[in-house]
Structure 1
């Protein structure tokens, strides 16, 4: 099969021929139709997770996948050949990625693909959608209240904004550009400009403070959140571990087929939309990575497989 691989940390990803992944008793082989690109993918390729995760080379990149079940393991009864599925395919080691014609996925990570989404949309949902969903759960955003979301129009923040709004929360969403205000309003947020003076601007919008805050940006987002949130235990960050010193939550997303089913339900109800910015074929994966590195992409970058 064709796959986008590296032979060592720091190498430029290239298209290569690789053997089909083995299918364990509790796994399925998925024929890939679309695979999302996330910044963590090129961080992994650069060795950023090496202190925590064993890597085996050649390493096939990618964790997001949408595709069709090609084969099931001997212990799998939940899915059958021909099923359309999605998954966040992060395993306990780095080797079997999703930027390939086929990938092997543990059944616990799988969910049916919603017919409300195209293949590229479905391929762009899992990692970012799960991160948003689990971060909201960590600070108990379940209905009502006011939520401050940093980088509310970004790859993760855009999902968090939509999910929180669907639960009846008032969302104050930060962005670094006033040109993004209409997009944030479309997602369901009241936009506010980030940068110097953010805490004062948020207080003007919510004089009694916000009920929860989500940091998908880094920098001083946790510190600003602590100034405006009523209870610092309801601050969550996916980038800044210092949040734990305040009593808040540092969120490391985990694969969950159950949570993906909840995201599917939101998509089917019209409450969650995946905005695909660009599609690239597997052979142009490096160009896709270069675009992601600019940090100027609104929406998802997705690799597609015919």
Structure 2
């Protein structure tokens, strides 16, 4: 089968399309015939060696690329209850140091990291859900805000931020969304009560909307202290990337969200997407062999939605 791997860190040009044996599903695992795999920023920093330099992966040998997958169960290992060949599924590969990721024709995942695909949703759209929606959902769990509380979401027009706005609204939170000046209509459509354009003076603008500051913040844009200043004393703050969390001034509880695969939670999110209650946004698709081109487009920025790689096993009807 084909797979995209990294054997030396660097720019998009280091992504290699190689032929490797089809992996075998072991105990508690399922093998998925990949139809679509989303391209995420974590893929780029893995490729560039940033995670290895930070000590988050060993950084030698072959590294697989890709976390998100949508496809069809192809084989089931022993003691892998809940799935059968032919099931349409989505899943999350959350381990860094593995030789194969989801940029491949087939991928093996723990059954506990897999969930039924959203009903009636094409695979390219379904592939944008696992990493970003789970990150947003788990960040909200970390905050633990009660219904009616106020929440700041930076990067609200992005993938994680957009899901955070929608999921927060579903939990009964009142959201201040921070995004680019042209994104006000989008974030309000996602469920934000207020919109604050990003830029200098963010904390004062947010406090003008919510006097005294918001109860909590999800910093999807990694703005750090700028977003922290908008949070009330003894509030809560969650950063969604390593090294991006500011010091917890004024008694603010600051945490970093490390996403974890969670099949039951992913099933719940998938059901919401199938009901049209979560918005799945695809910026563009590329064939698997054009992974380097997709990484170059990701680096250019400005995307609204995820780039998605497709295999030869994908059709627009799936």
SS of residue paired to 1:99: coil
**Structure 2 Cα separation of the partners of residues 119 and 21 of structure 1:** 21
Question: Offset of 1:222 from its aligned partner?
Answer: 3.1
> Contact between 1:243 and 1:250, CA under 8 Å: does it hold in 2?
no
Q: Counterpart in 1 of 2:113?
A: 109
Q: Mapping of 1:63-212 within 5 angstroms?
A: 63-91=67-95, 93-141=97-145, 143-175=147-179, 177-189=180-192, 190-212=194-216
Q: Counterpart in 2 of 1:275?
A: 281
Whether 1:247 and 2:249 are equivalent positions in the alignment is no
**Structure 2 Cα separation of the partners of residues 103 and 292 of structure 1:** 23
Q: 1:242 to 1:204 in 2, by over 3 A?
A: closer
SS of residue paired to 2:292: helix
Q: Counterpart in 2 of 1:302?
A: 308
Q: Counterpart in 1 of 2:2?
A: 2
> Contact between 1:35 and 1:63, CA under 8 Å: does it hold in 2?
yes
Question: Offset of 1:34 from its aligned partner?
Answer: 0.7
Structure 2 unaligned regions, length at least 5 = 314-318
Q: Counterpart in 1 of 2:239?
A: 237
**Structure 2 Cα separation of the partners of residues 6 and 229 of structure 1:** 40
What per-residue deviation string (whole Å, max 9, x for no partner) do you get for residues 35-60 of structure 1?
Answer: 01101102111222221223564333
**Structure 2 Cα separation of the partners of residues 232 and 265 of structure 1:** 35
**Structure 2 Cα separation of the partners of residues 231 and 110 of structure 1:** 39
SS of residue paired to 1:195: coil
Q: 1:28 to 1:244 in 2, by over 3 A?
A: farther
> Contact between 1:141 and 1:164, CA under 8 Å: does it hold in 2?
no
Root-mean-square deviation (Å): 1.8
What per-residue deviation string (whole Å, max 9, x for no partner) do you get for residues 232-272 of structure 1?
Answer: 44111113133567432111111111210121132133220
Q: What count of residue pairs does the alignment treat as equivalent?
A: 303
Question: Offset of 1:100 from its aligned partner?
Answer: 0.6
What per-residue deviation string (whole Å, max 9, x for no partner) do you get for residues 183-236 of structure 1?
Answer: 112212222111111111111111142121110112xx3323333323444111
Q: 1:275 to 1:214 in 2, by over 3 A?
A: same
Equivalent residue for 1:291, pick from 297, 307, 315: 297
Q: 1:62 to 1:92 in 2, by over 3 A?
A: closer
**Structure 2 Cα separation of the partners of residues 22 and 40 of structure 1:** 26
Q: 1:205 to 1:241 in 2, by over 3 A?
A: closer
**Structure 1 Cα separation of the partners of residues 91 and 265 of structure 2:** 10
**Structure 2 Cα separation of the partners of residues 33 and 295 of structure 1:** 25
Question: Offset of 1:26 from its aligned partner?
Answer: 1.4
**Structure 2 Cα separation of the partners of residues 40 and 250 of structure 1:** 15
Structure 1 unaligned regions, length at least 5 = none
What per-residue deviation string (whole Å, max 9, x for no partner) do you get for residues 94-138 of structure 1?
Answer: 312000110010111111111142211111111111111111111
Equivalent residue for 2:44, pick from 23, 34, 42: 42
Scaled by the length of structure 2, the TM-score of the pair is 0.90
Question: Offset of 1:22 from its aligned partner?
Answer: 2.8
> Contact between 1:243 and 1:249, CA under 8 Å: does it hold in 2?
no
Q: 1:108 to 1:142 in 2, by over 3 A?
A: farther
**Structure 2 Cα separation of the partners of residues 56 and 258 of structure 1:** 33
